[in-house]
Amino acid sequence: MHCEGREGMKELQYDVLVIGAGAAGLAAALEVSRNNASCALVERESHLGGILIQCIHNGFGLEEYKEELTGPEFAERQVQAVRAADVDIFTDTTVTQLNAENDRKEAYCYSAVYGVLRISVRAVILAMGCRERNRGNIRTPGTRPAGVYTAGLAQRLVNIEGYIPGQDVVIVGSGDIGLIMARRMTWVGAKVHAVIEIQPYPSGLTRNIVQCLNDFDIPLYLSHVVSRIEGKQRVEKVQVSPLTNGIPDEENSFEIPCDTLLLSVGLIPENELSKEAGMEINPQTNGALVDATMMTSIDGVFSCGNVLHVHDLADWVAEEARRAGAYAVRYLRNERPKRQIRIKAGANVRYINPAMFDPDNPDKLYFRSLIVKNQAKLQIKLDHKPVKEVRLSHVQPSEMLHVKLKPKDVAGWNIMKDSVLEVSIE
Amino acid sequence: MASTDAAAVRADVAIIGAGLSGSCIARQLSAYELDIVLLDKECDVSMGVSRANSGIVHGGFHHNLKYLKSRLEIRGNLMYDRLQRELDFPFKRCGILVAALNDEEMKYIDHLYTQGVENGAIGIEMCSRERMFELEPKLNPDCVGGLHAPGGGVLEPYRFVFSVVESAQKNGVEVVTNFEVVHAERAGERYRIHAADGRQVEARYVVNAAGLFADRVSEIFGAEEFQIIPRKGEYFLLDRATEAAPQRVLFPVPTKVSKGMLVIPTVEGTVLIGPTAQEIEDKEDVSTNADQLNLILDQARKMVPKVSQTDVITAFSGLRPALADGDFYIDISAKAPNFIQVAGIQSPGLTAAPAIGEYVKDLVKKAGCSLVEKADWDPYVSKLPRIRDLGPYEADNLVNANPAYGNVVCRCEEISEAEIVEAIRRGHTTLDGIKYFTRAGMGRCQGGFCSYKIIKLLIRETGMSYKDIQKCGAGSELLRDAL
Ligand SMILES: Cc1cc2nc3c(=O)[nH]c(=O)nc-3n(C[C@H](O)[C@H](O)[C@H](O)COP(=O)(O)OP(=O)(O)OC[C@H]3O[C@@H](n4cnc5c(N)ncnc54)[C@H](O)[C@@H]3O)c2cc1C
Ligand SMILES: Cc1cc2nc3c(=O)[nH]c(=O)nc-3n(C[C@H](O)[C@H](O)[C@H](O)COP(=O)(O)OP(=O)(O)OC[C@H]3O[C@@H](n4cnc5c(N)ncnc54)[C@H](O)[C@@H]3O)c2cc1C
């Protein structure tokens, strides 16, 4: 690490900068340092671990550590490994600007501890995670009183700050965060009156439906929306409407009195920094378009974890981030793939990551289904010719899927320069 | 807002309502040797009509000069540059375009142009189709021509009010919040004004600038009878990253009831679309409604086809405090002595506000109050640095002087701890108060990340209990219990 000041500002130089120290950033930084490159890990919060810290429930680590851990336990293992490695960690430090077009990239970081820092590197790994969609994003009409929270904010208030936001709760969205908060709010003594889901099927894991709703007799309304919020100063009630042909059915609407509405309506990758740096975004994921090495459209800038696409499992985040870390170091050594071909999302596939394939280094592909189906089939075609099939016992849009391609899969493929690999679900 | 215990307050002038009108009147009068109180029923200033509107400093062509509102609009517009220098609020003369989508509408543009010229609107220009697209490439391709008013601009109304109030306070005006005027009686040469919570203020002159409730306040003082009819306007706010952001404020050709649905590049870089126009009954009903919101998207797309619902970060509505004849009613009461009416201040009330201040100052004098200029009146307020406006080097200096500028609390709008602490110290002690003062929580995540941090700063700075932290006023407490 070199430290020099220009016009008073502190300037630091490294091989790699990792932005964000959640599951992704921690795994990426560790991998960079294992490959003997110097690494700065910058995190805006005062703690490491990102969103994991507030997920005090079980369900983490089965793949990474072969045992079931809570979020903070999962983070703790990652943090210990990173602290033991040669990584310079800057907490309470926010990256506010990234200039990445040149060979040497510069990040400006604001911190109450270090002042303004300029970190100059050759490669950057984006691991900024995501933010929650909010009321405005789903355009729920009504008044604008106190008592409307995103589920993650409520989780933070309860699990970390120790505050209970309300007593009579309605939850919008049946994703895992919504389900887990239904149970959590019940445990802290609140009454959860309902979970409202716009889709005809729940979007969380079946395990969570059973353990978080059924065990507590919390009703789940499928194909319903909260069509209105009422209350002057604090939420007083919500209007709930069944959906008929995708439109709220006013006539069959009903009201639920409550003082709190928790929104668990999806996550959006936090790519503002990346967009300002000029990075190309995949409209399907709101994350970067990355090649087989997890590199974005900007040379030397890599992306992984929830900032690339929203993951369900921290274990998969860590796996993906390790790849980004390893490829970033190879980039420093000018080791780039000899060839890459395009991967295309085919029938019933919403998106697939990465968007390019390196036939000489086949690896894992992550994707999401557009349909709900039991006994589905994954079909991979090379230039319209089927080359691999995988049975999938169950697919649904809210569950991320993956397939790992091996050298032996690729061995007999006739790959041309402009070949396209297409992944579809039948 | 920090308020003085008003039990013993005796003033020369009491102004009821701390919106754009009341605050500009207070600041104007603060230049004279007078004891002035500015009263408002809400927890902070600018929480009435002046909180939710289009934020446009109008271009002076929409109304005929026979209306008082038109004359004050013209005058008010001209006062903004100087105010900006004195009061340090974000304001930009970005200009206004009115787009005609067919030949019929083009005829109306003719009329607006002539009216603008008669009104003395500076730089107003009739535009061909080509000129329109040169000024705004994002316009609907169907546009056939229009009007350009370069003197129009945008600002954040609440931010402006905060600055005006700060200046008034600096010059001796007392601000009393959570003071809902419910009753008044004559006590000799004065009025004794009672608040809902029992506090009292006495004053020789009273200005009624109570916005939507000006009719009620007039009744309380036994003055003229009139009715304020609330007309609701709903909006969507779009993310600053939207591709729909125009260079100038875009108007359609106006209808009889309103100036139509606009696409507004706000001074802070986001985009506002709306407002609708719907007469309602309940003056406290600022809810949004599904049908209206769909209308906004449809209409805004007629101006800028790139408007997309995926860019929406929030929706809100405001109520126009209209009188039946559509004009402002600003006059000395013929019924209640030393009582001045400032009612019906709908659009262009923001544009006119500085001129309303001047106009009412003269009415106060006319009513018999002697105005003696203060020798030490100071029109300037101290500038508040905002890290998002600074380059890294300037920011570094600031952080060296005060490390709290380096702690970015609101990530979306880049607001530092130091800025939030400053807001709290200036008396903005609710989540909304801090939000409107600093912008923390106004960005794309709408407070999802920073609310808990701001709650913690509020507790640290004020010593309040978590149970007392409010969104905006009594009843809006955010936290119910602790573990
Ligand atoms: C509520 C919830 C419940 C979950 N439950 C489970 C579960 O049961 N099992 C499971 O396996 N997975 C679960 N997950 C998923 C998994 O935990 C996440 O996908 C994973 O932790 C995301 O890691 P990340 O590093 O990509 O993002 P994050 O953890 O969000 O980390 C991003 C980090 O970047 C920092 N950052 C962002 N921008 C900047 C900047 N400009 N400068 C500096 N720092 C910055 C942020 O502060 C943050 O710490 C859950 C997720 C959530 C949200
Ligand atoms: C949808 C919409 C869009 C608009 N767009 C524009 C625009 O682009 N440009 C423009 O120039 N103008 C615009 N306007 C008009 C402008 O917003 C108003 O004219 C202006 O805000 C009125 O300010 P005010 O101070 O008169 O009223 P208010 O801001 O309502 O202030 C009155 C205050 O009185 C207080 N009060 C009421 N009753 C009592 C009581 N009994 N005791 C104590 N306090 C009391 C209230 O709490 C309130 O704070 C718009 C208005 C609306 C609604």
Report which bound ligand comes closest to the CA of B37.
2
How far does chain B reach from its first CA to its final CA, in angstroms? 30
For residue B318, give the ligand 2 atom closest to its CA: 53
Q: Looking at the complex, report in whole angstroms how far the Cα of residue A163 sits from the nearest Cα belonging to chain B.
A: 4
In this structure, which amino acid lies at residue A97? Answer: Q
CB burial of A188-218 (b: ≥16 within 10 Å; e: otherwise) equals bebebbbbbbbbeebbbbeebbebbbeeeeb
What does the domain layout of chain A look like in residue ranges?
A: 2-131+268-336, 134-265, 343-425
- B187 & B317 share domain: no
Query: Is residue B80, in this structure, part of any structural domain at all?
Result: no
- B276 & B264 share domain: yes
Within its chain, how far is the Cα of A314 from the centroid? Answer: 9
Question: Does B6 score more than 50 pLDDT?
Answer: no
How many helices and strands (H and E) does chain B possess? 12, 23
The C-alpha atoms of residue A118 and residue A99 are separated, in whole angstroms, by 11
Is B428 annotated in the active site? no
Minimal CA–CA distance to B232: which of B287, B289, B275, B278? B278
Minimal CA–CA distance to A120: which of A93, A100, A96? A100
The C-alpha atoms of residue B371 and residue B334 are separated, in whole angstroms, by 22
Q: Is A19 exposed, middle or buried (0-12, 13-18, 19+ CB in 10 A)?
A: buried
Phi-psi region of B38 (alpha: psi -120 to 50; beta: other; left: phi over 0): beta
The C-alpha atoms of residue A298 and residue A173 are separated, in whole angstroms, by 35
| CB of B275 sitting under 6 A from ligand 2 | yes
Q: What per-residue confidence (pLDDT) applies to A7?
A: 56
- B301 & B428 share domain: no
Per DSSP bridges, beta strands A364-369 and A400-404 are antiparallel
Query: Is residue B70, in this structure, part of any structural domain at all?
Result: no
- Give me B80's structure tokens: 């903004």
- Give me B412's structure tokens: 């979306």
Hey, what's the torsion of the CAs at A24, A26, A30, A33, to 10 degrees? 100
The C-alpha atoms of residue B402 and residue B263 are separated, in whole angstroms, by 39
Listed in sequence order, the residues at least 6 apart from A329 whose beta carbon sits closer than 8 Å to its beta carbon are A15, A16, A31, A32, A35, A36, A37, A123
* CA-to-CA dists, residue A333 to A23, A105, A295, A300, A357, angstroms: 26, 16, 15, 11, 20
Q: What per-residue confidence (pLDDT) applies to A205?
A: 83
Minimal CA–CA distance to B152: which of B109, B86, B98? B98
- Give me B214's structure tokens: 């000006």
The C-alpha atoms of residue A416 and residue A382 are separated, in whole angstroms, by 10
How many CA atoms lie within 13 Å of A49's alpha carbon, on the beta-carbon side? 19
- Give me A288's structure tokens: 């970067």
* Residue B223, helix vs strand vs coil: coil
Query: Is residue B33, in this structure, part of any structural domain at all?
Result: yes
- Give me A282's structure tokens: 């995949």
The C-alpha atoms of residue B375 and residue B114 are separated, in whole angstroms, by 44
Q: Is A141 on the interface with B (CB under 8 A)?
A: yes
CB contact under 8 A, A141 and B287: yes
pLDDT along chain A (426 residues), means of 10: 55 97 98 98 97 94 96 98 97 96 96 94 98 90 95 95 97 94 96 96 88 95 96 97 92 97 95 93 95 98 98 96 98 96 96 96 95 95 95 91 94 92 96
| Cis status of the peptide bond prior to B321, with omega within 30 of 0 | no
The C-alpha atoms of residue A293 and residue A278 are separated, in whole angstroms, by 19
Query: Is residue B457, in this structure, part of any structural domain at all?
Result: yes
How far does chain A reach from its first CA to its final CA, in angstroms? 52
Nearest residue of B to residue A247, measured between CA atoms: B290
CB burial of A103-141 (b: ≥16 within 10 Å; e: otherwise) equals eebbbbbbbbebbbbbbbbbbbbbbbbbbbbbbbbbbbb
Do A2-131+268-336 and A134-265 come out as alike in CATH topology? yes
Report which bound ligand comes closest to the CA of B209.
2
Minimal CA–CA distance to A307: which of A14, A19, A17, A16? A19
Rg over CA atoms, chain B = 22
- Give me B236's structure tokens: 């969507």
| CB of B201 sitting under 6 A from ligand 2 | no
Query: Is residue B68, in this structure, part of any structural domain at all?
Result: no
Q: What is the CATH classification number for the domain harbouring B398?
A: 1.10.10.1100
Residue with tokens 């336990």: A73
In this structure, which amino acid lies at residue B209? Answer: A
- B214 & B128 share domain: no
Which tens digit of pLDDT belongs to each residue from B363-422?
A: 999 999 999 999 999 999 988 899 999 989 899 999 999 999 999 999 989 999 999 999
By most ligand atoms within 8 Å of CB, the mutation choice from A17, A48, A51 for ligand 1 is: A51
CB contact under 8 A, B481 and A108: no
Q: Is A138 on the interface with B (CB under 8 A)?
A: no
For residue A177, give the ligand 1 atom closest to its CA: 1
The C-alpha atoms of residue A355 and residue A353 are separated, in whole angstroms, by 5
**Contact (CB, 8 A) for A194 and A171:** yes
Q: What is the mean pLDDT of chain B?
A: 94
Q: What per-residue confidence (pLDDT) applies to B50?
A: 97
Architecture category of domain A2-131+268-336 in CATH: 3-Layer(bba) Sandwich (3.50)
Query: Is residue B236, in this structure, part of any structural domain at all?
Result: yes
The C-alpha atoms of residue A20 and residue B378 are separated, in whole angstroms, by 47
- Domain extent, residue B100, equals 92-154+229-321
* CA-to-CA dists, residue B208 to A203, A327, B31, B178, angstroms: 55, 69, 20, 17
- B344 & B296 share domain: no
Architecture category of domain A134-265 in CATH: 3-Layer(bba) Sandwich (3.50)
Query: Is residue B85, in this structure, part of any structural domain at all?
Result: no
- B437 & B417 share domain: yes
Looking at the structure of chain B, the number of domains it has is 3
The C-alpha atoms of residue B165 and residue B283 are separated, in whole angstroms, by 25
- B335 & B317 share domain: no
In 10 A of CB B378, how many CB atoms?
12
* Residue B374, helix vs strand vs coil: coil
In this structure, which amino acid lies at residue B52? Answer: A
- B430 & B392 share domain: yes
Q: Helices B431-438 and B417-425, interaxial angle, to 10°?
A: 120
Per 3-state DSSP, chain A is made up of helix, strand and coil in percentages (nearest 5) of: 25, 40, 40
Q: Is B409 exposed, middle or buried (0-12, 13-18, 19+ CB in 10 A)?
A: buried
Instruction: Give me the sheet containing B91-92, strands edge to edge.
Output: B56-57, B153-155, B91-92
Cα B366 to middle of ligand 1, angstroms: 65
- B247 & B338 share domain: no
Which tens digit of pLDDT belongs to each residue from B200-253?
A: 999 999 999 999 999 999 999 999 999 999 999 999 999 988 999 999 999 999
Q: Which of B265, B288, B321 is the last residue of a domain?
A: B321
As a whole number of angstroms, the longest Cα–Cα distance in chain B is 67
**Contact (CB, 8 A) for B35 and B365:** no
Residue with tokens 């045992």: A67
Per DSSP bridges, beta strands B339-343 and A254-257 are unpaired
- B255 & B217 share domain: no
- Give me A119's structure tokens: 């970190």
**Contact (CB, 8 A) for B52 and B244:** no
Query: Is residue B3, in this structure, part of any structural domain at all?
Result: no
Q: What is the CATH classification number for the domain harbouring B296?
A: 3.30.9.10
Listed in sequence order, the residues at least 6 apart from B78 whose beta carbon sits closer than 8 Å to its beta carbon are none
| CB of A13 sitting under 6 A from ligand 1 | no
Q: Is A314 exposed, middle or buried (0-12, 13-18, 19+ CB in 10 A)?
A: buried
Question: Does B305 score more than 70 pLDDT?
Answer: yes
Listed in sequence order, the residues at least 6 apart from A243 whose beta carbon sits closer than 8 Å to its beta carbon are A198, A223, A224, A225, A249
In 10 A of CB A276, how many CB atoms?
14
ipTM: 0.92
The C-alpha atoms of residue B390 and residue A398 are separated, in whole angstroms, by 42
Minimal CA–CA distance to B341: which of B320, B323, B324, B354? B323
Q: Which residues pair with B193 in a beta bridge?
A: B184, B201
Hey, what's the torsion of the CAs at B454, B457, B461, B465, to 10 degrees? 80
For residue A94, give the ligand 1 atom closest to its CA: 42
Nearest to B477 among A142, A146, A248 (CB): A146
Site from B44, B234, B297, B479 to mutate, A interface, most A CB atoms within 10 angstroms? B479
- B166 & B141 share domain: no
Minimal CA–CA distance to B455: which of A157, A112, A131? A157
Rg over CA atoms, chain A = 23
Q: What is the CATH classification number for the domain harbouring B21?
A: 3.50.50.60
Residue B291 pLDDT level (bands cut at 50, 70, 90): confident
Hey, what's the torsion of the CAs at A66, A69, A75, A77, to 10 degrees? -50
**Contact (CB, 8 A) for A48 and A79:** yes
- B313 & B258 share domain: yes
CB burial of B458-473 (b: ≥16 within 10 Å; e: otherwise) equals beeeeeeebeebbbbb
